[in-house]
A and B are shown apart, each in its own frame.
Chain A
């Protein structure tokens, strides 16, 4: 972008009194003063959202008492995390994440290949079904699986006992296997979404020329396809691994009852489950995990350096589709099975749970609607719905607006400071929701009295914006990269100012991406639990928090009702999003 004018404002008026244009357009096309103010404002906002909680985290880890109390600086926090017990926690965290990443990646590659490169029937529908689990809040499936695979009263084990006469349960969700199993259900659709376009966009002539050189299909797959996909596979692996370390729900629901601890649940426990919350321990651990994440991100960057995604050019050709013959019904069945296990089973369980008086006792005379009545009569539920909606709408809009601005400045201008804001916006990428939650906990408590954010819904909003910003910047960066500079410059040459060009060309062309990102962010907010559970207080609960509380009270039946409502919401939103994307594609 070269539409940069570094002259001071008054310069134009002085040398060219005849040139028209009002102060506003002049300011935004040429004024470095306004630009400076804008950039400073942006840096301030991003600083508050990312640097400030980070700094507070560091402060908290070095300070002996909770915010607002007299204390001293010491290294006790870091000393207290250096225990052999925590080594096990660390090993658990890394081990579980690896153990879920490898099978997830394998299955996701297989699914992506089925959908993108074979003639499996109904691939379009299958793609929608396969990706659906990703959009379901993990807390819902966690609760559903808690009921499905409960060693005593879980449906699966009950059916097993009934069918075989055995007395031992078939599966026990409260185990390492259970934690990994639950994480896989999210990793697979996530990785699938991440990779499927790369599979689709691969230039088939690269493979065909290998076949012409005499290589068999299998050799071609190994030597050409896989190697071409290597950059995508590597970054998928790293992403999934990092996400695995950040995961909270799976370990909370299935790990803690079995005594399996990971870092996120350890932080949570040290604040919520001890007689007196050990903030210094929690912040020190948070800071340590951020260090770990930082190393991982550096490693990821190092592994991917110089590797390009050249194969993903994706225009003008159709990838060659492999004809599977009768096997295509096997691949079809595989996809359907995946959908059945990850979506139908949990939904079925929630329905089952919502209509019977007591969870686990499924007989005809136990059928009831009382849980629905109880939920709908519960004012706390409605408040949570309202909170979640308000937070979702406001949060998604604010996050995407921030992302759109940051991405525009870092991609399409050469303004000074653009790298700074880009890195600041990227910072939360390294912070698991739990860690950011702890950071904001301190950050809000340390704010001067007249700014009462702590304990309000705004605390959650700010945390959500911070958590969502890296993704929103990504989405908008991708969108801007696809718009050629010509489109923008052409508008300038034909008389539009910078502001007019922004509005009529850039916004008009980028808003579909904005909308897609908005829905993603909205889903992200609806499912968020780890930061919410630290930052909520009475009156500002979200649906996920209410679910969590009901679950803790053993009220699995009402959990099922609320879970079903949320599920419905997810499916409606997803349907709107998909039909929206479709209409956009057919229009362009």
Chain B
């Protein structure tokens, strides 16, 4: 984990509620797709956790969905703003043993969070199927980003206004392969109900620290209590007590 100052270099609205933020700063602590950062915001005591959507040595991309006063403030910050970040948090996805045609399922603000994983797997010659699930057409983002790295993209909307009508569960019909998923807890729990799946699920939790000190984010698992921030946020399928 690192603590350092980042400078916002670009703040682009992708939809009415999701912004892509590009920041410049030291990303040396970020090592694995699926890790997250904690952003300190003026006037907020607790930092806000966001998944790393993409990173290089010195640039970081976040996709931030307006969800409350902190994310509202973050989405309206002008380029040039300096932000204090903790980087390199969480375990990230394990990519040691990945089948040739992995399935990535993202829901809502979890879609962007799968991008660096998709990129990493495509780079390694995997045929990545990316199922991007949204409520409605107006919420859809990042489709072109996934296409640009040659992922096979399937868009699902609950109301059928774009792509297939359906949700994350319908995406399971695409391939019976290894699953990587990030999205709302309800979506993850529904996916995890499919016992035979080889899955890695990235969870969200309210966090006090983000680095394992406060026990605020604990979930119950088959192996005992685990901290989402430090033992996760990625957990294997079949272990979480929902």
Do A and B associate with each other? no
